[in-house]
Amino acid sequence: MPRRPRLLVINPNTSPLVTQTIDALAREVAGEAAEVTTVTAAFGYSYLMSRAATSIAAHAVLDSAASALASGFAPDAAVIGCFGDPGLVPLAELLDLPVAGFAEAGLLAAAELPGKYTIAVSGNTWCAMLGELVDQLGIGDKVAAIVPIDGYETDPAALAEFVTRQARATGAERIVLGGAGLIPIIPAVVAAARVPVIDPHRQAIRKALRLAQAGGGPASAARPPERHRTVGLSPALTQLLSGERLTP
């Protein structure tokens, strides 16, 4: 019997509670189809709400992946557990395996559907950063607006009403509602909203699972070394960047 694919899910912030939430979602979505390991950033911010926090989180994502590999876990795909995907591109390059992000997976899935959609997320800074990601993904023609949900994050009924109003006001066919902190209430919002709501977090887990099942095997334990030496990085990340074989 072939082994189940392995998913490495990385929480880029330092909150164990958020990690538990992400891990529960990943295991629910993957079921028995994959082996899931979820890890927490070893340094950085407890929640990401600024560009500085997100930049630090990208480093923490690489460090977390290196530590997981050094411990003996060989993933077939990885997931960035943040609606903003810090470190996604460098992680895919570093590990040479598929990497799905909460934002990238959700936004691309919504873009495949007819009509435009609106993105709803906490904070004006995240609105700006997601606008930049939309441009990078080349899907600006599919996005009607990006709106902050500040003040509605803890009330599913109020949030459902808010996203319904925003969809109608912006001419959107649906809403992409993102943010790891919202994962527990999104099912209630989906049920109460009078407009389709896409859960990007579930989309990312499903995408990573598909990619892992179709991929060519787990991450390589050796890679071409960087030409320049590093200073001050963790031993695991230093080892991975050097191209040395990772051992538990």
21 & 36 share domain: yes
Has residue 197 got a pLDDT over 50? yes
The tokens 């070394």 sit on which residue?
Answer: 225
Q: Which of the four pLDDT bands, split at 50, 70 and 90, describes residue 115?
A: very high
94 & 32 share domain: yes
Among candidate residues 185, 200, 215, the one where a domain is terminated: 200
Burial class (CB in 10 A: 0-12, 13-18, 19+), 190: middle
- CA 28 to each of CA 78, 177, 201: distance values in angstroms, whole numbers, following the listed order: 16, 19, 12
* pLDDT given for residue 3 in this prediction: 80
* pLDDT given for residue 242 in this prediction: 84
The 10s digit of each residue's pLDDT in 137-188 is: 999 999 999 999 999 999 999 999 999 999 999 999 999 999 999 999 999 9
- Which CATH number covers residue 134? 3.40.50.12500
Burial class (CB in 10 A: 0-12, 13-18, 19+), 240: buried
* pLDDT given for residue 221 in this prediction: 43
224 & 164 share domain: no
Based on the structure, what is the number of domains in the chain?
2
Provide the residue range defining the domain that includes 122.
103-200
